[in-house]
Amino acid sequence: MPTAITHSVIGVSAACGFISEKKTLKFWILSILCPILPDADVIGYLWFYIPTYHFFGHRGFFHSLFFAALLSIFIVSVFYRKEAVFSKKRWKYALYFFLITASHGLTDALTNGGRGVALLAPFTNDRYFFPWTPIEVSPLGIKAFLSQRGLTVLINELIWIWTPSFLIVILLKIKRKKQSIRPLIVRMLATINNWNKRSVI
Ligand SMILES: [Zn+2]
């Protein structure tokens, strides 16, 4: 798995790119937590010795797209219940929370170690990797992470996840700024044009 910090970086970047009239504290906290939550199954592995090949093992059901969908439905039902049930806004939030939760399993499938990810659970417990796996797998447990190996993993994640995430956010910001500046430029050009016409008359 990429580290929890890196999974949350994806959530924060997505939150920055999300178009909403008001981003509340609740929204930011959920954006950080949702991409981390699937790794709660590590508790089962470390404390209860649930084997990784088990349905509820690490990278099992909780890493699936189905779980991401269930979690997003739960979140909008609990935290966004004021929005009308089939409103566009509620669907927008549901899709957003689905995507950031699903990003966890998908990025894990890009790692170069461990067991594959049960992306299609509960329909199949088969584990999948993408054909291209550039991300260094992170060691399980804090002690193992606080080592040279942990540092190597962090540098790798900086290259493959942090940098592209920040670049996408910056590009989106530039694009939006351009869009908000464009009507202003059009108005300025129209005013200059009117002045020119008047001075010719
Ligand atoms: Zn994971």
Determine the distance separating the centroid of ligand 1 and the alpha carbon of 16, expressed in angstroms: 23
Q: What is the pLDDT of residue 184?
A: 75
Residue 75 to residues 56, 87, 88, 194, Cα–Cα distance (Å): 21, 15, 16, 53
Q: What is the pLDDT of residue 108?
A: 94
Determine the distance separating the centroid of ligand 1 and the alpha carbon of 124, expressed in angstroms: 18
Q: What is the pLDDT of residue 5?
A: 87
Determine the distance separating the centroid of ligand 1 and the alpha carbon of 46, expressed in angstroms: 14
Q: What is the pLDDT of residue 67?
A: 98
Determine the distance separating the centroid of ligand 1 and the alpha carbon of 54, expressed in angstroms: 15
The secondary structure of 100-155 as a DSSP string is HHHHHHHHHTTBSSSS-B-TTTTT----B--S---BPPPPSSHHHHSSHHHHHHHH
Where are the domains positioned within the chain?
Answer: 4-200
Would you write out the chain's pLDDT as a tens digit for each of its 201 residues?
Answer: 568 889 999 999 999 988 776 889 999 999 999 999 999 998 988 888 889 899 999 999 999 999 999 999 999 999 998 888 888 889 999 999 999 999 999 999 999 988 899 999 999 999 999 999 999 888 776 776 677 888 888 899 999 999 999 999 899 888 888 777 777 777 778 887 777 777 665
Q: What is the pLDDT of residue 79?
A: 93
Determine the distance separating the centroid of ligand 1 and the alpha carbon of 196, expressed in angstroms: 63
Determine the distance separating the centroid of ligand 1 and the alpha carbon of 63, expressed in angstroms: 7
Determine the distance separating the centroid of ligand 1 and the alpha carbon of 88, expressed in angstroms: 31
Determine the distance separating the centroid of ligand 1 and the alpha carbon of 39, expressed in angstroms: 5
Is the separation of the CB atoms in 111 and 133 below 8 Å? yes
Determine the distance separating the centroid of ligand 1 and the alpha carbon of 95, expressed in angstroms: 20
Q: What is the pLDDT of residue 71?
A: 97
Determine the distance separating the centroid of ligand 1 and the alpha carbon of 173, expressed in angstroms: 29
Determine the distance separating the centroid of ligand 1 and the alpha carbon of 90, expressed in angstroms: 27
